[in-house]
Amino acid sequence: MTEKIITKKDVEYVAGLAKLELTEEQKELFVKQFNDILTYFKKLNEVDTENIEPTSHILPLANTFHEDSIKPSLSQEEVMKLTSCTKDGYFKVPKIL
Amino acid sequence: MQLNKLKAIDYIEMVQKREVSVEQVFDDIFQQIDTKDKKLKAYLSLNRENALSEAREMDKKIAKGDIIPPLAGLPVAIKDIISTKGIETTCASKMLQGYIPPYDATVIKKIKEAGGIIIGKTNMDEFAMGSSTESSAFQLTLNPWDISRVPGGSSGGSAVAVAANEALIALGTDTGGSVRLPAAFCGLVGIKPTYGRVSRYGVIPYASSLDQVGVLSKCVQDAALMLNTICGYDSLDSTSANLSVTDFLSSCQEGMEDLKIGVPQEYFKEGLQSEIKNAVMNTIQGI
């Protein structure tokens, strides 16, 4: 039984973030498909994990820091070469504000 | 001579015995690529001039009597998700078309230090998000065993390069099967090392807690040789395991009597073709 978790507004919002234009039919299709997928995810809750330790990482690694020391790196020139969208040593990007 | 059909370990032995030159094997490799790859489309880009010039350099050094490095000019194909300095790296996506990394991934550095030479970059599912290589934004790679079939993915290009003798060995990446699956589809050895074994520095990520660089090869010893080269702690990768690396090549000599191999029952459920099931079960009996 598919639950109604996602609404048409959610689909429109996600489409906006992804810069995708959708037709009304596509929006309805995706509402249904998104809800089908999320309902299917809930199947995972059927598994009994009562006495199981959560595993976030298979190696006993945590907080692997290193000294904040200056080492050889890429030169500004090498990095600026990667694009033509530069000006006066800066990268030019679309206005975001 | 068709040196492109050699296994990596046999090629290296022949170079050490001065039976072949590095340039010769690259001539055969590029001839195979020029003949077959228009159809198979395993490669997105080739490192032809550099590879041939590095091959000649190595031949000169060998002739002079210099110590031959462990990989002895081995021709390696690299999945286009691994950063190669000066060589376009696209992840088979138009989003990275024209991106030329200013640095080598650690695995590339290690291969170069060991004397390996890069043939070119291979096709893949876009950003590794697929299991058939069909989602590449650039080209469709065909399975050399049957061109009506997919080579698997996402490291399909690497698998085809080795299976079609357009490379002696290849690197891929494996998140949820992307080295092992195309290896199986193309009749190769494929291994995903334990997470943390191989540095992910310079490897464009898909799922950072699952990705590992893996090897696609013609035989187990070749994979072991390449693992010896690429495994090891890297301070540039904070998920790299600071554990010593076995000599995998000599491990190949040890017997399997003490090993226990776990085979999940879930592998043999609905949807598995009977030929595949039989092939796997026969191999298990054999072991």
CATH class, domain B3-257, is alpha beta
In this predicted structure, the answer to whether residue B213 has a pLDDT above a threshold of 80 is yes
ipTM of the shown complex: 0.72
- Note the Cα A89 to chain centre separation in Å: 30
Using DSSP's 3-state secondary structure scheme, residue B118 falls into: strand
Contact B100 A82 (CB under 8 A): yes
For residues B166-180, average pLDDT: 98
Evaluate whether residue A75 is within a structural domain.
no
Contact B238 A61 (CB under 8 A): yes
What pLDDT, on a 0 to 100 scale, did the predictor assign at position B170?
A: 98
Instruction: Report the residue from B99, B102, B238 with minimal CB separation from A64.
Output: B238
Give contacts of A61 with chain B, Cβ < 8 Å. Answer: 196, 238-239, 241
For residues B194-209, average pLDDT: 97
Q: State in Å, rounded, how far the first CA of chain A is from the last one.
A: 43
Cα separation, B34 vs B43, whole angstroms: 11
For residues B124-137, average pLDDT: 98
Cα separation, B182 vs B42, whole angstroms: 12
Evaluate whether residue A26 is within a structural domain.
yes
Cα separation, B203 vs B81, whole angstroms: 6
Among the options B79, B112, B121, B218, which is catalytic?
A: B79
pTM, 2 dp:
0.91
In this predicted structure, the answer to whether residue B245 has a pLDDT above a threshold of 90 is yes
Evaluate whether residue A57 is within a structural domain.
no
Evaluate whether residue A39 is within a structural domain.
yes
CB A69 within 8 A of CB A41: no
What pLDDT, on a 0 to 100 scale, did the predictor assign at position A62?
A: 86
Report the gap between the CA of B238 and the closest CA in chain A (Å).
6
Q: What domain range includes position A35?
A: 8-46
Residue of B nearest to A66 (CA): B235
In this predicted structure, the answer to whether residue B206 has a pLDDT above a threshold of 90 is yes
CB B179 within 8 A of CB B216: yes
What pLDDT, on a 0 to 100 scale, did the predictor assign at position B164?
A: 98
Half-sphere exposure of B68 (CA within 13 A, CB side): 20
For residues B226-239, average pLDDT: 96
Evaluate whether residue A40 is within a structural domain.
yes
Compute the mean pLDDT over every residue in chain B, rounded to the nearest whole number. Answer: 96
Report the gap between the CA of B175 and the closest CA in chain A (Å).
14
Contact A78 B102 (CB under 8 A): yes
Of residues B108, B49, B103, the one with CA closest to residue B76: B108
CB B192 within 8 A of CB B226: no
CATH number at residue A13: 1.10.20
Provide the number of structural domains found in chain A. 1
What pLDDT, on a 0 to 100 scale, did the predictor assign at position B4?
A: 97
Instruction: Report the residue from A61, A66, A74 with minimal CB separation from B103.
Output: A74
Q: What is the pLDDT of residues B33-65, one digit of tens each?
A: 999 999 999 999 999 999 999 999 999 999 999
Evaluate whether residue A36 is within a structural domain.
yes
Cα separation, B37 vs B156, whole angstroms: 13
**DSSP string of B233-271?**
--TT-TT----PPP-HHHHTTS-STT------GGGGSTT
What pLDDT, on a 0 to 100 scale, did the predictor assign at position A34?
A: 95
SS (H, E, C) A7-61: CHHHHHHHHHHCCCCCCHHHHHHHHHHHHHHHHHHHHHHHCCCCCCCCCCCCCCC
In this predicted structure, the answer to whether residue B1 has a pLDDT above a threshold of 80 is no
* Domain ranges (residues) in chain B: 3-257
What pLDDT, on a 0 to 100 scale, did the predictor assign at position A57?
A: 79
What pLDDT, on a 0 to 100 scale, did the predictor assign at position B274?
A: 94
Q: What is the pLDDT of residues A34-65, one digit of tens each?
A: 999 999 999 999 999 999 988 877 888 888 99
Among the options B21, B178, B217, B240, which is catalytic?
A: B178
Evaluate whether residue A66 is within a structural domain.
no
In this predicted structure, the answer to whether residue B183 has a pLDDT above a threshold of 80 is yes
Compute the mean pLDDT over every residue in chain A, rounded to the nearest whole number. Answer: 91
- The Cα-based distances of B231 to B78, B92, B94, B200, B210 in angstroms read 16, 25, 31, 11, 16
